[in-house]
Amino acid sequence: MNDAPHVPVMLDEVLDHLAPAASRPGALAVDATLGAGGHSEALLTAHPGLTLIGVDRDPNALELASKRLAGFGDRFIPARAVYDEIPDVLRANGFAALDAVLFDLGVSSMQLDQRERGFAYSQDAPLDMRMNPDDELTAETVVNTYAPGDLVRILRTYGEEKFATRVVSAIVDARGKARITSTGRLAELVKDAIPQAGKRTGGNPAKRTFQALRIEVNGELETWERALPAALDAMNPGGRVVVMSYHSLEDRITKQELAKRAKSNSPAGLPVDLPGTGPTFRLLTKKAQQPTQTELDRNPRSAPARLRAAERIAPSTRAGGAP
């Protein structure tokens, strides 16, 4: 494991967007993707009256972040869960609603730097990629047992890999001779399958395949489609949400859900919104924010990040929403 400090992505922007909600008396924040705890530490430091629940499915992340945040006492509450379980986490800890929520999606730097987790294509390790090590499905299982058509679909949809058919043909041919068990072997197969012209831009040619497999193994997109609406429904009026996405599919889901809640559902032409049909959120970012050049120089891993933020302006009209 790499013990180098992990740099929270777009920290200044996160703090700025969440400050009006996190600074309210008795405010509750949820860091839905706790990771190494960098964003949580900054929020708890900036707002002495804030209570924060840190959610992560990875027990190792929870343990390390809890040690980092131990000095905040009972203002920090760790919770092992997936981020679509936020309403359950709130109820389990005696809270009815939240005031600020942060989602920093994708794989964390800490997980990338743990070679044995099998997330990184740049170092040889078992082909794993599970965010929760107790889950059964691994990248090795996907690579060696999924039908070729399913593999092509996963690489095209989740990795946006235009050479998906070539990559899958190489995988199927190789696994017919010997099971593919390591990240190094898979990265080599992908590299050899992609034509030279396709290697000239976009970084490591295995990046898209590894992203696609990680998303499949952890069910990330399906979880995100449930998680964001659940979190928005659980917010108090005046509460704020910040989402950082690292690929277009996550960002598209985020953009569409926030836009839907920021517009009126009243029939066109009415001078005012009918009761219960007005916008329930206000967009704080008209388009996704990206890291500054200063941040890119300090933390190159932040390059794909796209940040969107919104504020709740009215109670939810959905059943079970926060009051």
Identify the domain boundary among 218, 241, 273: 218
Identify the domain boundary among 197, 218, 239: 218
Whether residue 2 is contained in a domain is answered as: no
- Among 26-35, 115-124, 175-184, 212-221, the least confident range: 115-124
| 172: confidence class by pLDDT, cuts 50, 70, 90 | very high
- Ligand-binding site membership of 111 (annotated): yes
Whether residue 3 is contained in a domain is answered as: no
- Ligand-binding site membership of 38 (annotated): yes
- Are 20 and 102 found together in one domain? yes
- Are 121 and 205 found together in one domain? yes
Question: Is pLDDT at 15 greater than 70 in this prediction?
Answer: yes
Whether residue 318 is contained in a domain is answered as: no
Please state the pTM of the whole predicted model.
0.86
Identify the domain boundary among 218, 234, 250: 218
The CATH number covering residue 226 comes to: 3.40.50.150
Whether residue 129 is contained in a domain is answered as: yes
What span, in angstroms and rounded, lies between the C-alpha atoms of 134 and 119? 16
Distances in Å between the alpha carbon of 112 and those of 1, 107, 119, 135, 210? 9, 7, 6, 18, 12
Domain count, the chain: 2
- Ligand-binding site membership of 114 (annotated): no
- Are 142 and 211 found together in one domain? yes
Whether residue 191 is contained in a domain is answered as: yes
- Are 45 and 124 found together in one domain? no
- Are 185 and 242 found together in one domain? no
256-298 per-position pLDDT tens digit: 999 999 997 766 666 666 666 679 999 999 999 999 999 999 9
- Are 205 and 154 found together in one domain? yes
Pairing assessment for the beta strands 51-56 and 76-80 based on DSSP bridges: parallel
- Are 100 and 119 found together in one domain? no
What span, in angstroms and rounded, lies between the C-alpha atoms of 75 and 304? 32
Question: Is pLDDT at 323 greater than 90 in this prediction?
Answer: no
Whether residue 245 is contained in a domain is answered as: yes
- Are 193 and 233 found together in one domain? no
The CATH number covering residue 156 comes to: 1.10.150.170
Pairing assessment for the beta strands 281-283 and 306-312 based on DSSP bridges: antiparallel
What span, in angstroms and rounded, lies between the C-alpha atoms of 91 and 85? 10
- Ligand-binding site membership of 246 (annotated): no
- Ligand-binding site membership of 158 (annotated): no
- Are 149 and 164 found together in one domain? yes
Domain housing 200 = 113-218
240-258 per-position pLDDT tens digit: 999 999 989 999 999 999 9
- Cβ(104)–Cβ(35) under 8 Å? yes
* Residue-averaged pLDDT of the chain: 88
Whether residue 317 is contained in a domain is answered as: no
| 79: confidence class by pLDDT, cuts 50, 70, 90 | very high
What span, in angstroms and rounded, lies between the C-alpha atoms of 274 and 282? 18
